[in-house]
Every structure is written in C-alpha cells, then in structure tokens.
Structure 1
Amino acid sequence: MRVLFAAGLGMPAALRLVLLARELQAAGHEVRFSGPARTRNRVVRAGLVPVLAGPRQFSRAWRPDLVVHDPLCPRATAMAAESEVPTVGYLPYAHPPLAPAPTVWIDPCPPLLRERPQPGAWQVRGDAYELPPRPQPHLTELSLLPRVCVTGIPTGTRPEDRRRARLFRRVAEGVESLGLQLVVLRGDDHPWNVVLQGSVVVVHSGDEGVVYAAARHGVSQLVLPAGEAERRAGKHLQQAGVGVCLTDDELRGASSMLRLRFHIAELVNGGRALPAAAQLGRTVAAMPRPADLVPGIEALLR
C-alpha cells in the first residue's frame, strides 16, 4: 500500500503524523511525507522519505492508495479531496477543520477535553515524534522547587504580539516571585518527555501540542488564549478541572498580579487541578497508540 502523508505548518501536528507514518512504514507499507521545509530534517531523522515537490503534484504522479493529511492545511486538504482514495485526518483540538471531511477521523484528544466529540472517530494518544534529548542539566538534575514551564511567548512585532509578550513576561515574574523554578521554552518543538517529567504547571497560549503533552504527563495547565478558539478550549480545560484559563480582560487592573499569583500558587500547591491532571495522565496512558491504528487503516483498502 502506498501512503502519502501531508502536513501543514504546525510542527506539533506534523510530528504526530510522523509517528503514524513510522508505524505504517514498519508494517511494510510504502510511505512518503510531504510537509514544510522546516519539518524535513525531522522527517529524515525519523527514517522517512520526504517529498520535495508540492503535495498535489506529487500525489498526481505517485498515485497513493491512501492519504493521511492535516485538515487545517488548505493545500493538504485540497490534495486529499482530489486524490479519489480513502483519506485519514487528525481531528483538530480548538480550530474547526476544513471541508470535506476525511473518510476516517483520528482523535488524539482525551475524551475529557473534547468539547464536541466526533461520532465514529478513532481514539489515539496525542503523542508526537521526539528526537533523543540533548543533555539539559537544568531540567534533569534534582530540583527542590516545583517547576513551571512557560512556552508560546509571541516573538512578532505587531502591537498584539508585543502586548501578549508583555503578558507572558508578567506570568514569568509571578512564577519567580513565588520562589518557583521557571523554565522558559522558545519555539514550538520541545523534548516534552524531559521538560515535563519534573514540572507541575505549563503556561501556554492554547496550542494543541502543548495541551496534549501536558495531559499525557499529568501536568496542570495555565492558558493565556491567543484567540477565541483557544479561549473556548482553555475554558473547557478549566471546566474539566485540569487547569485555569485567564483572558486579557481578566488580567487587567491593579489587582491582576495578585490574581495571577493566586492562580499559579493554587495550580502548584492545591486545589483540584493537581489530582485531576494526574488522573488525566493515567487516562491518556490507557488510550490506543499509533501502532494500534495500523490494522484499521489497512482495512480501509480491503
């Protein structure tokens, strides 16, 4: 069976596709992986063959039997729609997917965190491919202080980016003022198995890759949503009891730093988030892994 994977711009989504691609290749299928240039090194390191041409041109020439694609990427979705073969798509967490719907949805979201479950979707752990971690003593050495990770700080020059960057800096100041260990992560590709092993809270903007990584490791979350979709997703995390979502409006005013410190301290030291996040981690551990999906995918062509 020839299987073409088509990823979008988001690195976490691409790395989830890489994991499934490796499992299908290990099962004896011919796999090709189309994605942005920034993902090609990771694709090669994973033992896969990257596609250098555009996904639509390559699909017409290679004629795959199955397409696994990112349903948030217009190019990948359009290519999958015109391929006239069965398609598989990973159901997004916060953003609505593009039409048309694939033959089969794969849902990497733990049921507790899914706002609107998709009937018939195949459940799978929201794992992502990670390179062997480089030595990072500040993360692997024993620390007597609870660790809080901050990731997703905007780096753009737009007024909105600068305003949100200031908000993240205030969170970092609040973490340090409580005497906690602060780890600030740049970019969108991290060795979560190392970073989150000793962490108790992750602060982020609602990115689904971070949501799934924190859920997998049983870590509570503080969401500073980047938009309306992330705000809804963050509020759902809060309703599930595994974190807190704080919007810009909730962090304005003279008392905002005090409120912020209260929420951080509660996530670290008490409340229901710690046991709820730990229970969520155990639930995720029992979910199917990418290798468990291979027989069902193979059955799509029988």
Structure 2
Amino acid sequence: MRVLFATWAAPSHLFPMVPLAWAFRAAGHEVRVAAPASGAAAVAATGLSAVAAGPDVAVAQMAGRERLAPWRSRGEWATGWSARPDLLGEAELDVLRALADKQLMVADAMLGDLVAFGRRWAPDLVVYDSLCLAGPVAAAALGVPAYGFVAGSPAVTRIERLHPSTGPLPAYLRLFERFGAEPVVEPRGWLDPCPPSLRLPFDGDRTELRHVSYNGPGTVPGWLLDDPGRPRVVVTGGAAGSKYGGQAGAGLFRDTLEAVTSLGAEAVLALTPAQAENLGPVPEGTRVVRSLPFHLLFPACHAVVHHGGSGTAFAAFAAGLPQLVLPQAPVLAELARSMEARGAALVLGADEQEDPRRFATAVARLLDDNDLTRAARNLQDEVATMPPPSALATTLTPA
C-alpha cells in the first residue's frame, strides 16, 4: 500500500503518529507524511518522507488572538464538557468556534498542495491527526478511505461539528465542494491510543492502538543507568508546553522543582531546545536535560510532573509512573481529572497552582503514596494489552 499521513502541526501532533507510520514502513508499505511547510523539517527528522503542503499559515498569531486566549490559559470548564458541549456557556462555545476557525484556515491552506500531491502519488489510505481537517477532505477528493488519529478530548476530535448533535460546520462542507467531493462526515474509524478505562464518551467507532512514546532521537546518558539512591522525579512541559501561558515557559514549574529538591529527591527538568533557550535559574540539585526522549527517561524515574499534555501522560502510563498534573488549559484538565478519578494522578487546579504549599504537599504524596503507584502500574498493564502499531499496520487496509 501507499499510506499518506497528514498533520497540521509539529512536533506535538506529529510525534504520536510516528510509530504507526514506521510500522507501515516496516511492513513493506510506502509512507509519506504531509504537513505545512514549517513542519517538514520535523517530519524529515523522524526518518520519514515529508510532503510540504501549502504556504505557512501564521498559526502562532492565530493562537494568540483574543478569542482563543482562554484555550491557552489555566482554568477548567464544566466537568465532562468535552463530551457534552451543551454544558458550556456562550463564552466557552465561542472559544471552540475560534478553534474551529483556526483549523479550517489551516486546512484551506494545506489542501491545494495536498490534493495535488495525492493525485500524483495515488495513496491507498489516509491517516490524519484529528485536528488536521485537510486529511478527511483530501481522502474524499482522492476517493480513498481515511482513519482519524485521536488527539486530545472528544470535543477537539470533532471540532468540525462543535456539538455532537449538530452536523458539520458549513465552512467545513465548503472544503469538500472546492474539490467536487461528496462530504464524508465520518472516517472509516478512529485510532485511539487512550487506555479504555480513561476514555471520555465519544460517538465514533474506535480502534485501540497502543501508544508508543516517540520524542525524537536521543543518546542514553551514563547517569541514567546509575541508581541515584533516592527517588528521581521528572518535571516537564512536554513538546508543546511552551505554547501555554503561566508557568509552562522557561522557568518551568519552579515551585515543583523546589518541592522535589527540598524533599531530598532528584529533580530532572526535561526541556525542548526552545524551552531551554530562555531558562533562568533553577533550584540547586536540579538536573536539566534537553531533548532526552521520554521512553529513555521515564523508566528511570519514580514519578512525573507535567502540564497535562496527552503525549507526556501516555508516556508515563507506559512506564507505570504516578503523575502530578498541573493543567495549563481547560482541554488539558479533562484528561487530568480522568486520571485523578482512576487514582493514578494528582491534579492541582489553577487556584491551587498559586499556592507553593500545595506543591510541597502534592510532591510528598507523589513520592510516598503506594495507592498512586499501584494505580499507575495497573494503567501500565492495561496499556500493555492494547494492540501495538505493528498489528494495525497489517489490519488497516483500503478494502
């Protein structure tokens, strides 16, 4: 087969799909990964073949618009909102409309090149990041089946609808009309790496897919193989943490680092190169690492503290680590609260993140609570039962 992957952003939306793309390659299929021109280098760095689709859209500027500001701010919306947008007020619904407008603008910019490439290369199958609305439109224009790769909450996965009870947005349907394609409002299926016990309600057909952590290449440092003689706690904002406001910037979770070191544990601050550029002073006893893949780092740690991103959380599931989550946006709080309900994570909400004493109490519990560790190990076992990407590379076919 020829399999065309599509994403709208790199690296946080690209990385979760990389193991599946490589599974197709290992099975003997041809793979191309389409992304806006600004993401082509990130695709190429994975060893996969990149296709630059469309001119760059000023995504960073759009993300900073006033209507989208709450999407990048600490705070929580009504519990269960991602499965039931009817719980939201008009202000929150307008944020989702702004998010849909942004994704539709990116899709419109990508589609000309994406469809033109598809008509020349003739893929048999399209796999798209659920926020990359160009993916299903291109598949329909090419007359091939598509699978959506679930990213984030159900509300984000179906952003072209805004509400489960409504049909697709008119602007989304116009993208199909542009290519004379019959609108396809449901993909053939959704590929979902979320452990079943943590899934939020969702009206699509899901195919389980084990999350395999990928954060780029790396070299195993010698210290990682040594026993530190004390608990090791990693603190990170993941690949996307720097795009959120508040503490998820250069001085990442400073109160948490101070709490970890004050309790005698080893703090490991894991950063991307962009986050490290503006790094200020960190508490004594903090080890700073740059671009160290989570699948190497996490198994050598006792616990992880992070901003709430699904890529970081899923990597912690695979390593069996208890988590302290400091959600930096409403969409990140949804998964965090689901993990908390399962007993595998502690969560500090926006108000609690303003009180340094809360960090010390939470980290102390993270280090000593056996129930948290037991629940995290149970999640690890659950993840291990899910089919790996290699299994799906043999079952996802055009037929």
The TM-score by the shorter chain falls in which range? 0.7 to 0.9
**Residue of structure 2 in register with 1:104 after alignment:** 189
**Residue of structure 1 in register with 2:395 after alignment:** 296
1:262 and 2:361 equivalent?
Answer: yes
**Residue of structure 1 in register with 2:57 after alignment:** none
- Amino acid aligned to 1:88: Y
Report the 3-state secondary structure (helix = DSSP H, G, I; strand = E; otherwise coil) of the residue aligned with 2:272: coil
What CA distance in whole angstroms lies between the structure 2 residues aligned with 1:167 and 1:42? 23
**Residue of structure 2 in register with 1:34 after alignment:** 34
**Residue of structure 1 in register with 2:164 after alignment:** none
**Residue of structure 1 in register with 2:175 after alignment:** none
**Residue of structure 2 in register with 1:113 after alignment:** 198
- Amino acid aligned to 1:248: A
**Residue of structure 1 in register with 2:303 after alignment:** 201
1:64 and 2:109 equivalent?
Answer: no
**Residue of structure 1 in register with 2:336 after alignment:** 234
- Amino acid aligned to 1:105: W
Report the 3-state secondary structure (helix = DSSP H, G, I; strand = E; otherwise coil) of the residue aligned with 1:213: helix
**Structure 1 residues 124 and 190 mapped into 2: Cα distance closer, same or farther (>3 Å)?**
farther
Pick from 297, 315, 336 the counterpart of residue 213 of structure 1: 315
**Structure 1 residues 105 and 51 mapped into 2: Cα distance closer, same or farther (>3 Å)?**
same
Q: CA deviation at 1:46?
A: 4.9
**Residue of structure 1 in register with 2:209 after alignment:** 124
- Amino acid aligned to 2:293: P
Q: For the Cα contact (< 8 Å) 2:190–2:205, is it kept in 1?
A: yes
Report the RMSD for the aligned CA atoms in angstroms. 2.6
**What is the aligned length?**
294
Q: CA deviation at 1:282?
A: 1.5
Report the 3-state secondary structure (helix = DSSP H, G, I; strand = E; otherwise coil) of the residue aligned with 2:386: coil
Q: For the Cα contact (< 8 Å) 2:213–2:295, is it kept in 1?
A: no
1:85 and 2:144 equivalent?
Answer: yes
**Residue of structure 2 in register with 1:181 after alignment:** 266
**Residue of structure 2 in register with 1:138 after alignment:** 223
- Amino acid aligned to 2:383: V
| Greater displacement, 138-147 / 188-197 | 188-197
**Residue of structure 2 in register with 1:248 after alignment:** 350
Q: For the Cα contact (< 8 Å) 2:245–2:328, is it kept in 1?
A: no
1:149 and 2:234 equivalent?
Answer: yes
Q: CA deviation at 1:293?
A: 0.9
What CA distance in whole angstroms lies between the structure 2 residues aligned with 1:226 and 1:51? 32
Q: CA deviation at 1:191?
A: 1.3
After superposition, give the CA deviation of every residue in 1:205-234 in whole Å (9 maximum; x if it has no partner): 111100110001100111111211111211
Identity value in percent: 33
Report the 3-state secondary structure (helix = DSSP H, G, I; strand = E; otherwise coil) of the residue aligned with 1:184: strand
Q: Which runs of 5+ in 2 are unaligned?
A: 55-113, 161-184, 274-290
**Structure 1 residues 110 and 16 mapped into 2: Cα distance closer, same or farther (>3 Å)?**
same
Q: CA deviation at 1:84?
A: 2.7
**Residue of structure 1 in register with 2:257 after alignment:** 172
Q: Which runs of 5+ in 1 are unaligned?
A: none
Report the 3-state secondary structure (helix = DSSP H, G, I; strand = E; otherwise coil) of the residue aligned with 1:161: coil
What CA distance in whole angstroms lies between the structure 1 residues aligned with 2:245 and 2:15? 26
Within 5 Å, give how 1:282-293 maps onto structure 2. Answer: 282-293=381-392
